[in-house]
Amino acid sequence: CMYLNNNEDSELFLGKSLRLGGSSQIYEDNNTFFGDLSAILIENMPIWAEFSSTPSSKISLMSEWETKIAAIINETKNENVTSFAGVPSWMLVLMNKMLEETGKGNLFELWPNLEVYFHGGVNFEPYREQYKKILPKKDFKYYEIYNASEGFFAIQDLNNSSDLLLMLDYGIFYEFIPMDTFGTPDQKVIRLADVELFKNYALVITTNSGLWRYLIGDTVRFTSLNPYRIRVTGRTKHHINVFGEELMVENTDQAIAKACKLTQTEVVDYTVAPIFMEGKEKGAHEWMIEFKNPPADVSQFQKALDESIQSLNSDYEAKRYNNMTLNPLVINVARKNLFYDWLKDRDKLGGQHKIPRLSNQRDYLEQLKSMQFQTV
């Protein structure tokens, strides 16, 4: 509705929305049954929604990811698709395979009436330039949606804006924990009326469906207080603060995008972990990065990335000053499909599954390094 309000000449409903949901597989743990939210939503949509969506529910709810992708391509390539919706990382996999299968140069050659992509789940910035290449129209719209199993929190309500309007009338009571005190004895919880602009907060929600002061795991910052608009900056678990650098996913996503632009390259996925101090050896951040097209000079990319993070995060910059606490970051160039194979190995292809970007531990990174030279 917000999109249509801002784009009165839209022909959205003259075609179909291509949706990329999860598996309908139901899991059981300790007599509790659970499944993928996007699949549950698709399964419970009214009958009229089925007429304006593609692929069919039967294909949308398939559990085996690679079979499902082939079926989606086969069913949707001849449809009049005017919009699509899904997580940017997985949608990009689908769209690239679609172009590969059909031999088209970009998505408008396949679907000339495409006008908007509704996305959410992960930060869009690392993928923006790749989407621009397969959707080469300046007036194509991107609308971000911030929802989760626990509630529907915020929606982009303006064209060409990354700010999300916080929904105050959706049965959710919001509280916030400033991230500079999060997890410490000084941790405090503040109400919405007391938030400040451009400060990172952990989101706490109470809902009319029974959640009570639930820590959802996301971090946000406010870009406007009247009305309340936010940007999602990362996860409470997915940040690095081993050396007091308070590195957030928003920082690394923006730095990756900036470094890619400077070195004319593209990144498929990445994760970061700390290199802990040992004896007199200083700490550092170690990256595993899978490039779509590797940079001609990895050391140049490393320098651009390091400097970009410093420009975005003053705490990181202070720790990097004269290598005082942190040495320059270390980059491992991942083999092709490393992250895909890592997820596949854990039965986490498709749906809402995401690569953990940042961690205070080395578990994820070590698992990826152990698979680096495996042939799958």
pTM for the model: 0.78
User: Tens digits of per-residue pLDDT, 336-357?
Assistant: 999 999 999 988 887 667 889 9
The residue type of 39 is A
Beta bridge partners, 125, equal none
- CA-to-CA separations, 295 to 86, 127, 304, 307, in angstroms, rounded: 29, 17, 11, 17
Tabulate helix, strand, coil % of the chain (nearest 5).
Answer: 35, 30, 40
Alpha helices in the chain (DSSP H): 2-6, 37-43, 47-51, 57-60, 65-76, 88-102, 107-110, 125-134, 249-263, 298-312, 314-320, 338-345, 363-371
The confidence band for 39, taking pLDDT boundaries of 50, 70 and 90, is confident
Condensed to tens digits (0 to 9), the pLDDT of residues 219-246 reads: 999 999 999 999 998 888 788 888 888 8
pLDDT of residue 250: 87
pLDDT category of residue 119 using cuts at 50, 70 and 90:
very high
For the stretch 62-89, pLDDT in tens is 878 889 899 999 999 999 999 999 888 8
Greater pLDDT, 31 or 3? 3
Tell me the residue type at 349: L
Peptide bond into 55 cis (omega under 30): yes
Provide the pLDDT for residue 347.
Answer: 83
pLDDT at residue number 160:
86
